[in-house]
Structure 1
C-alpha cells in the first residue's frame, strides 16, 4: 500500500521527466520540496472541483501565499513561516 508521500514523490518525478522531455529548455525545472495534502468528504467533491477551476482567476487578486496563510489561520493550524516556504 502506498502513502500520500509516495504518491507525491512519484507524481513529481514522472511529471518532471515529462516536462523536460516536452521542452528541453526547461531542463532546470524542479518541483518545490514540500507539499500539502487535505482530505474531503464525498459530498464536497463538486465544491472542491469548482474551487480548483477558479484558482487561476482567484490568484490574480490574492497571492497563493496570502491565501495559504489565511487557510492555516482559519483552521487554527500553528505554523512558523520560516518553515512554510522554500
Structure 2
C-alpha cells in the first residue's frame, strides 16, 4: 500500500487543577477558540471545543503526525501559559496532570459535538467527577479513583 491513510476522531477531556472553577464565562469563548487553534496548528482539526467552569472537552480529528501524549502536552502547556496572560484572576491557572482521551466512531461525531456544546445545561444536573466516571464506565476503562483526581 503506497499511502498512509488515517481518520481517527478523539474526544479529549481534562480539568483544571483541583477542579477549580476558573473557566468563567468571560474566558470560555476565548479559551475554547485558543484550544481549537492549538489543535489545528498541530493538524488535529477541531470539530467541537467546549466545557464548563472546571474542565474542557475537545473533539478533533487526530493527526497521524503526532502522538496522543504530545498533543495533550502541547495543548495543556500552551493554553495554560496563554490564559495566565489574560488577567490577575487567571495567574494561578493550571490544568490537572492527567487527561482522558477516547476514540469516537464517525457515526457519533454529531452526537458527541452536541454533547460538548451542551455542557452548561448538562452540568446543572451532574458534576464533572460524576460525568467523567460515567464516560470511563461507558468505555470500560479500569481506573483507581485515587489516581484520577489532582
Give your verdict on TM over 0.5: yes
1:3 aligns with 2:87: no
Instruction: State the SS of the aligned residue for 2:102.
Output: coil
Which structure has more relative contact order (CA 8 Å, sep 6+)? It is 2
CA distance in 2, matches of 1:73, 1:10: 27
TM-score between the two structures when normalised by the length of structure 2: 0.52
Picking from 60, 67, 72, the partner of 2:124 is 60
Instruction: State the SS of the aligned residue for 1:39.
Output: strand
Q: Report Cα offsets for 1:13-53 as digits up to 9, x if no partner.
A: 11112111121442221111000001112221111110101
1:40 aligns with 2:104: yes
**In the TM superposition, what is the alpha-carbon distance from 1:83 to its structure 2 partner?**
1.0
Give unpaired runs (5+ residues) of structure 2: 1-64
Give the alignment's Cα RMSD to 1 decimal: 1.5
CA distance in 1, matches of 2:85, 2:100: 26
TM-score between the two structures when normalised by the length of structure 1: 0.86
Higher helix share: 1
Higher strand share: 2
